[in-house]
Amino acid sequence: MVVRRIGLVVLEVVLLLGAAPAWARFEPVTCKNNAFSPQQEVAEGAKAAAEVYQEMPVLPDSDPVARYVQQLGAKLVAHAPVLPGVGQQWPFNFHVVASADINAFALPGGAVFVNMGTIQAADTEAQLAGVMAHEISHVVMRHSTCNITKQQSPKLGFGIASVLSSVLLGDSALGTLAQGALGLGAKATFLKMSREDEQQADLLGAGIAYDSGYDPRGMVQFFETIEAKYGAGGAQWLSDHPNPGNRTEYVNAEIATFPRRTNAVVTTPAFQRMHAVAMGEKAYSAKDVTAGVWKRAGYATGPGASATTVSAPMAAGQGGGAGATAGTGAGTETAVRLSASALGVGARMVHLQAARFAVDYPANWVKQEDSGGTVLLVPQGGSGGAGLVYGAVIGVAKQSGDGVYDQTSLDTATAALAQKLSDQNGGLQRLGSVGGMQVGGKMADGLELRGKSPLMENGTAVAERDWLVTVARPDGDVNYIVFVSPERDFAMVKPVFVAMLQSFQAQ
């Protein structure tokens, strides 16, 4: 990392003139011989942004919270440097994702996405500005395309898309397991930002926040707050953005070099208003984002789109009261409790042959499958705008190293997966320990967990029971199945889950 100091003579002249200095001790750097031209970076980043809209619940740009984030982003970008060789400022644009994960990410070329969970977790505008300035800094220093250049001979579309997979999936619970969801495989893991990238983005981001008039300590305060509340791995931002070590120490040392300012902005009435709005907004868990349940809740399909309302059908077996709408989808806008017949208890089973597994499921359930082979099986009315209430998510978890080859390594993989599920879904209670079994003649593990269901009763979420089953694959990877139900209905629907499991074959 290259760090240079601005000459004292320049500082003295600026202070004597009384001007507000465009000050930052850290001088941003980028890699040499980047394989992507700035034009290619913008074009490929735009393609990746289009994928985000297919994979994540992005608020329409007309949404009040999204408009606030756009205005804050524009203020910060006005003080972002332009590096030699770029020729002009990147075409930055800012968006909000209705995800509960505390995370934000920037795509090559300038698209920045901020999760609703991040806005909800910030206490001040200076804290949110610090996070966004950090992401702007990754774009300015071209970290994504530099990493691709260092790691491989890039092919346009593949390299950028792999970065997209990295930021979208990261270490999120079902996201890591479903890295094939974007058809990109395990390449994403080594394309995460390095510790050096993170340190550079911290230092430049602090300078951008300061030059924009904010108290730059907001960045450090936000990092400290979420780490204290969630632990080092409990917030997705901390997983996707590895701590370079002594973050508080080196950022505070950087800030100490800035000319003192008595009127630095800590927060604003606009932030307080939008923070209150954000706290009342629906934010989806990682599980529900991966399952795609948000796709029936009226989210925009591209930048600049306006919000729309999509009516969903009533659950099978339920009365079609006022407002009931015909359709073929699996969800309802409001989570509802289903009867045994609607859940497929005693129903005829049909066979599903997927790319890497086969399974039988009730004929009155609905199948959804993404391009990477991750499958969501849901009874009619089993999911909706509120999230996944009943059903099963099935996919493949890639394993590093030698993969899963004995009971010990499978137990380790299962425990790690359970922890990720817990981290990304507000904390789940383990019910017992990991138990070994056989599924389709192959080594398997099972573990039950308790959390909160999207199903509400008297304004309170009822308890949810999740049954995680992992099956060792011949190639060393692991098939996973997550069966989901409100806890009070788990015993009723468990025979369906057991029948599905008895039919399951890892292939």
CB-based contact 431:450 (threshold 8 Å): yes
The reported pLDDT for the residue numbered 433 is 83
**328 token code pair:** 């073929």
**77 token code pair:** 């970008």
Burial (CB count <10 Å: 0-12, 13-18, 19+), residue 235: buried
As a whole number of angstroms, the distance between CA 202 and CA 255 comes to 11
**pTM score:** 0.56
The reported pLDDT for the residue numbered 399 is 81
Of 275, 237, 4, 346, the closest CA to residue 123 belongs to 275
**478 token code pair:** 């692991």
As a whole number of angstroms, the distance between CA 369 and CA 224 comes to 39
Of 214, 201, 476, the closest CA to residue 356 belongs to 476
The reported pLDDT for the residue numbered 367 is 87
DSSP H or E segment with residue 454: strand 442-457
**468 token code pair:** 């995680």
As a whole number of angstroms, the distance between CA 427 and CA 476 comes to 28
DSSP 430: E
- pLDDT tens digits, the chain, 507 residues: what are they? 333 333 333 333 333 333 444 444 788 888 888 888 888 888 878 877 887 888 889 998 888 999 999 999 999 999 999 888 776 789 999 999 999 888 888 888 899 999 999 999 999 999 999 999 999 999 999 988 887 777 654 443 333 333 333 333 333 323 332 333 222 222 232 235 777 888 899 999 999 999 999 999 999 899 887 777 666 544 555 555 656 667 788 889 999 999 988 899 999 999 999 999 999 888 988 878 877 778 766 665 555 554 322 222 222 222 222 222 223 344 444 568 889 988 999 889 999 998 889 999 999 998 877 656 778 888 988 875 556 789 998 888 888 777 888 999 999 889 888 887 776 666 788 888 888 889 998 999 999 989 888 788 887 888 889 999 999 998 888 999 989 999 999 999 999 999 999 999 998
Please count the other Cβ atoms lying within 10 Å of the Cβ belonging to residue 17: 8
β-strand partners of 58: 97
Sheet holding 93-97, edge to edge: 93-97, 111-115, 104-106
Domains of the chain, with CATH numbers? 8-290 (no CATH), 331-506 (3.40.1000.10)
